[in-house]
Chains A and B, each alone.
Chain A
Amino acid sequence: MTIVVGYVPTPEGEAALAQAIAEARKSNSRLLVINSSKGDALVDNRYAQEPEIQSIEDRLATQGIDHVIKQPVRGHDAAAEVLDAAEEHNAELIVIGLRRRTPVGKLILGSTSQRILLEADCPVLAVKAG
């Protein structure tokens, strides 16, 4: 079985990753780390660069977790990428990080986590930073 975690290089993303690692060890599942970007801006701070990915890779390897790290850049938003991956790998669980959003901010920008929570076919575990 597979656990999908939506990762971004922020405190929320780190919290989600830590939680996902704990879940994966508990149930001895494969961990699928998704870090995506739409790729339409030249600079995207939510898209992890080589050193960050390498350190996650090392961390997962030393903990002995069967894992795959994917960084799709296909023009889809992060929610779509996580949901796609969950469906494709028949995930048992999706782990995401939540951040504080005002109602107005949510109205304007939408909410990735809300979309995942509503549209996922499997249980979703949402964690907060710190």
Chain B
Amino acid sequence: MDVFSSLMDGFATALTPMNFLYAVIGVVLGTAVGVLPGLGPAMTVALLLPVTYALEPTSAFIMFAGIYYGGMYGGSTTSILLNTPGESSSVVTAIEGNKMAKAGRAAQALATAAIGSFVAGTIGTTLLAVCAPIVVQFAVSLGSPSYFAIMVLALLAVTAVLGSSRLRGFAALGLGLAIGLVGMDSVTGQQRLTFGMPLLADGLDIVVVAVAIFAVGEALWVAAHLRRTPLHVIPVGRPWMGKQDWKRSWKPWLRGTAFGFPFGALPAGGAEIPTFLSYVTEKRLSKHPEEFGHGAIEGVAGPEAANNAAAAGTLTPMLALGLPTNATAAVMLAAFTSYGIQPGPQLFASQGPLVWALIASLFIGNLLLLIINLPLAPLWAKLLQLPRPYLYAGILFFATLGAYSVNLQAFDLVILLVLGALGFMMRRFGLPVLPLILGVILGPRLEGQLRKTLQLSAGNPAGLWSEPIAVGIYVIVAVILLWPLLMRLWRKARPGRSSLLPANSGAADYSD
């Protein structure tokens, strides 16, 4: 398996006029939803899922990848110019970025964010192309017990590490797993959670669930909090950087990439923790520590590189293992399933051309994003003047249309509304959305692996820890679960030391 020649084949596929067009549409849409707070790539991909059924899977995934990367670029624009993070991964960027903009250095902040994103995205995508096949080689040797353990780890890690409250996280995860259970059991044919309704026997369509939770829930939430004091966008000149800015930016870019990629690839890594770590590191290493808090360019360059590298990192387990670690990856995984493509380690073998075209399109998308973001950031900021009622009315319209078009069944609209109300209540009570959506998507596959394991061991639960890798992973799971207890003991033993872990920073609350 030659990575380079596969990648070149991928470029050939991704550069056909049609696919290139979808890449352009993807990055433009992605930047737009990135700029607008409250709209994220996960919601956009979910809304577009039904629309893209008619497309070639390759074209659809090229567009989705563009949206995902675009969201990371767009978020920084809003953070810097408005002091409101466009995406949860841009929360840290706002700290220094907005200070720079207020000091008249908005252009430099935007430039370092865009170029840093490009550098990190390119390095990250290269790492993805190199690492993913290696992970696959390792993954094909894994049996059901190990898979089961990895999925348990992913679910628990997302639930326990991200977000402000473990209890809320587990509540959301439970809801998600319950939604995933609805329908007929594939082995015994038993009806589960169908309440005697034949329409529920096929289970809930994942597209309807995703659209309801992300789009309808968010739209209702925004409608309930519509009015807020409007702000002005800080004016920018042409984004460009002086020699000094380059000199101070390139190291943070590389360090941010080094933080972002591995954290993105880990379950529960996400893009929030590496951006925070990158910020803290830059603050400590900076030759101008006095500038931090007043607009230090390192504080923009590092985190912005970190969030793009994390985006590339997230795609590694998604493509190599079929394991999503954030909301957008989860929805993309649902897209694979709805195209009838089985995600997992066999993906590279069975859908090689698609996967490599997807990876190649990430390189292309990155370049396109640099071109449309660097000179046009102030134009993108104009999107923020859009009255939100129009915007959300449009989203609700597309959500309804999409949910109906999946199965052409009016009953799906009822499900859409019920789950949309659930999404609203979750936001109201601070329940993170990510564990729910991962529960819905991974739950049935988790159950499948559990059953396979138990069948192999003839019903003996010891089969669950029959592989050494599985045992190792359960140890990690135990550490994650017992972490608060361990921390408490640690603090008691050594009083006066506080932890630097950003796990409970509010940043993760947006979860999308």
Chain A positions near chain B (C-beta within 8 angstroms) = 37-45, 47, 49, 73-75
The answer on a CB contact under 8 Å between A42 and B84 is yes
Q: Decide yes or no whether B368 CB sits under 8 A from chain A.
A: no
A49 to B381, CA, bound (A): 18
A53 to B385, CA, bound (A): 21
In the complex, the chain A residue whose C-beta lies closest to that of B231 is A43
The answer on a CB contact under 8 Å between A41 and B388 is yes
Cβ contacts under 8 Å, B37 to chain A: 42
Given A38-B387, A41-B384, check contact A47 B230 (CB 8 Å): yes
Given A73-B227, A73-B230, check contact A43 B381 (CB 8 Å): yes
Cβ contacts under 8 Å, A75 to chain B: 226-227
The CB with the most chain B CB atoms within 10 A, among A37, A40, A49, A75, is that of A40
A74 to B233, CA, bound (A): 21
Interface of B is mostly: loop
* A36–chain B nearest beta-carbon distance, Å: 10
The CB with the most chain B CB atoms within 10 A, among A37, A39, A41, is that of A41
The answer on a CB contact under 8 Å between B387 and A45 is no
Q: Mark B369-412, 1 if CB is under 8 A from A, else 0.
A: 00000000000010011111100000000000000000000000
Q: List 16 A-B contacts (CB under 8 A).
A: A37-B230, A39-B229, A39-B230, A41-B230, A42-B231, A42-B384, A43-B82, A43-B233, A44-B231, A44-B385, A45-B232, A47-B229, A47-B230, A49-B231, A49-B232, A73-B228
A21 to B82, CA, bound (A): 33
Contact of A40 among B36, B226, B231 (CB under 8 A): B226
5 closest residue pairs by CB, A with B: A44-B230, A39-B227, A43-B384, A47-B230, A42-B384
* A106–chain B nearest beta-carbon distance, Å: 19
The answer on a CB contact under 8 Å between A40 and B384 is no
In the complex, the chain A residue whose C-beta lies closest to that of B232 is A49
Cβ contacts under 8 Å, B229 to chain A: 37, 39, 47, 73
A42 to B82, CA, bound (A): 9
Cβ contacts under 8 Å, B227 to chain A: 38-40, 73-75
Contact of B385 among A45, A49, A73 (CB under 8 A): A45
A77 to B185, CA, bound (A): 55
In the complex, the chain B residue whose C-beta lies closest to that of A49 is B232
Tell me the total A-B contact number using a CB cutoff of 8 A. 55
| Besides the known contacts A39-B228, A43-B384, A74-B227, 7 further A-B residue pairs in the complex with CB atoms under 8 A apart | A41-B384, A41-B387, A41-B388, A43-B82, A43-B232, A47-B230, A73-B228
In the complex, the chain A residue whose C-beta lies closest to that of B382 is A43
In the complex, the chain B residue whose C-beta lies closest to that of A47 is B230
Cβ contacts under 8 Å, A40 to chain B: 226-227, 387-389
- CB neighbors of A among B188-217 (8 A): none
In the complex, the chain A residue whose C-beta lies closest to that of B38 is A42
A73 to B381, CA, bound (A): 22
* A116–chain B nearest beta-carbon distance, Å: 21
Interface of A is mostly: loop
Determine the interface band of chain B, counting residues with CB < 8 A from chain A.
10 to 19
A77 to B82, CA, bound (A): 24
Cβ contacts under 8 Å, B385 to chain A: 41-45
A49 to B102, CA, bound (A): 14
In the complex, the chain B residue whose C-beta lies closest to that of A42 is B384
Cβ contacts under 8 Å, B387 to chain A: 38, 40-41
A40 to B436, CA, bound (A): 30
Contact of A41 among B84, B381, B386 (CB under 8 A): B386
Cβ contacts under 8 Å, B381 to chain A: 43
Cβ contacts under 8 Å, A37 to chain B: 229-230
* B333–chain A nearest beta-carbon distance, Å: 31
* B385–chain A nearest beta-carbon distance, Å: 5
* A3–chain B nearest beta-carbon distance, Å: 26
Cβ contacts under 8 Å, A38 to chain B: 227, 387
A54 to B233, CA, bound (A): 19
A3 to B230, CA, bound (A): 26
In the complex, the chain B residue whose C-beta lies closest to that of A45 is B232
Cβ contacts under 8 Å, B386 to chain A: 41
* A7–chain B nearest beta-carbon distance, Å: 15
A75 to B389, CA, bound (A): 11
A115 to B276, CA, bound (A): 51
A43 to B230, CA, bound (A): 5
- CB neighbors of A among B220-241 (8 A): 226-233
Cβ contacts under 8 Å, B388 to chain A: 40-42
A77 to B439, CA, bound (A): 44
* A80–chain B nearest beta-carbon distance, Å: 14
The CB with the most chain A CB atoms within 10 A, among B232, B381, B387, B389, is that of B232
In the complex, the chain B residue whose C-beta lies closest to that of A39 is B227
A73 to B231, CA, bound (A): 12
A90 to B385, CA, bound (A): 34
A43 to B386, CA, bound (A): 8
In the complex, the chain A residue whose C-beta lies closest to that of B226 is A40
A43 to B35, CA, bound (A): 12
The CB with the most chain B CB atoms within 10 A, among A37, A39, A43, is that of A43
The answer on a CB contact under 8 Å between A39 and B226 is yes
